[in-house]
Amino acid sequence: MSRKYFGTDGVRGKVGEYPITPEFVMHLGYAAGKVLAAADWHLSEGTRPAILIGKDTRISGYLLESALQAGLIAAGVDVYLAGPIPTPAVAYLTRALRLQAGVVISASHNPFEDNGIKFFSGDGSKLPDETERAIEAGLDSPIVTMASARLGKAKRIDDAAGRYIEFCKSSFPYELDLRGLKLVVDCAHGAAYHIASHVFHELGADVVAIGVQPDGKNINDGYGATAPGNLQQAVQEHKADLGIALDGDGDRLVMVDAEGRLYDGDQLIYIIAQQRKAQGVMKGGVAGTLMTNLGFEHAMQRMDIPFARAKVGDRYVMELLQQKDWQLGGENSGHIICLDRHSTGDGIVSALQVLHALRAAKQTLAQAAAGLLMYPQILINVRIAKGGDLANHPDVRAAVTAAETALHGKGRVLLRPSGTEPLLRVMVEGEDRAAVQQWAEKIAQVVRVAAETDSVPR
């Protein structure tokens, strides 16, 4: 059975539009509570299953938190409220507190009008597909509130941020520190606004914090990993050594060097892999995605590090890592997974792994990334009808075939529907930037025409 509501990163949409309505979210909480409560947790007699709820800084978080909490409590599940906290903090606290699941209310890098719900299992990993399907199946049944004596209770965790700060610091080697480094840290006015700068400062860095004044509406607006312009400017204005940008829920990372050059996920994963290979602690290979730069794949081959591609989405990178028993992987968008440090992707922890590599090798970002020759890669997002399958449209397929022929095997074309928005992502990559740009624009235009034709009523 395919999933109706869950995408690659939970349930997501515009607030007030189905399914991101209080009625649906309450029902989702109830259905999740019933599925998770039915699992065999070996709880002591009289103990109810418990679920942690965290959220980012969107104003709609208050609304959805209350609805979700009501549904879970009606299903007889206790609720722990962590307030605004990064997605990876929810994964960590769920595991540390021995809870049955964790829920994050966030739409990650999307604008504030959007929001979403995503779940973690008790071990701090994303819920498997079969559990999400079981929750969706439960949405077909009405809410039947438990008897009063069996209702859940709610409790607020007042020290959630402090617990997570200490966890992040523990992922950095005790024999190293960040003294002498000046960092600009951009939190995208998001969930890490009161956390990230403390982590780096307590490890010894001189920290300039930006994007740390959330008002409920400014998350990801001109700041953070998806809008690094302000970070690049701030690094140069403050004469900082490095810049670190997270996204709204704190699981993405991009970095900037002292000259204002931007480093994406592929480059940062390369730096981590290179250092681990040099120290003899590289376990297995590296997992990327269909969007990982071809230059990265060639760099792994040169270092004799196995490499494999998963579908786009950090959940699929995680599945590939677990399947192969590897530890390192991620996406060029900045989702980086270090399974020897955390059970999920974590922007702060990933930044510390990059800083570990730089400190250990006594290198700058530019020096550490010099061995990676990135191929020009052009990505164009084309808006399409929700649920449309234009990647297989005859005209689109013909344009892709023409591009692949023209690139003579020295590049590739990828068409991928977004898992969170009604977009078809057109990516062309190759050695010749001009040719790559030309073909990306040609294919995108064919997609636009096909989208308009398909939208005409018949």
Separation between Cα atoms, residue 355 and residue 202, nearest integer Å:
14
CA-based torsion, 143, 145, 151, 154: positive or negative: positive
Separation between Cα atoms, residue 104 and residue 89, nearest integer Å:
10
For 411, phi then psi, to 5°, come to -175, 180
List Cα–Cα distances, 106 to 57, 69, 89, 453, in angstroms: 8, 15, 13, 34
Give CA angle at 17 (11, 20), nearest 5°: 30
Q: Which of 60, 108, 171, 350 is flagged as catalytic? A: 108
- For residue 126, the cross-strand partners are 120
Nearest to 190 by CA among 210, 217, 214, 163: 214
DSSP string, 317-376: HHHHHHHHT--EEE-TTSBEEETTT-SS--HHHHHHHHHHHHHHHT--HHHHTTT--PPP
Q: Under a CB-based contact definition with an 8 Å cutoff, are residues 161 and 173 in contact?
A: no
Token pair, residue 96, equals 């540390």
- Map 38-89 to HEC letters: HCCCCCCCCCCCEEEEEECCCCHHHHHHHHHHHHHHHCCCEEEEEEECCHHH
Residue tagged 């104003």 (tokens) = 59
Active site residue 108: yes
Contacts of 65 (CB under 8 A, 6+ apart): 53, 55, 81, 105
Separation between Cα atoms, residue 147 and residue 322, nearest integer Å:
41
Token pair, residue 122, equals 């008790």
Active site residues: 108
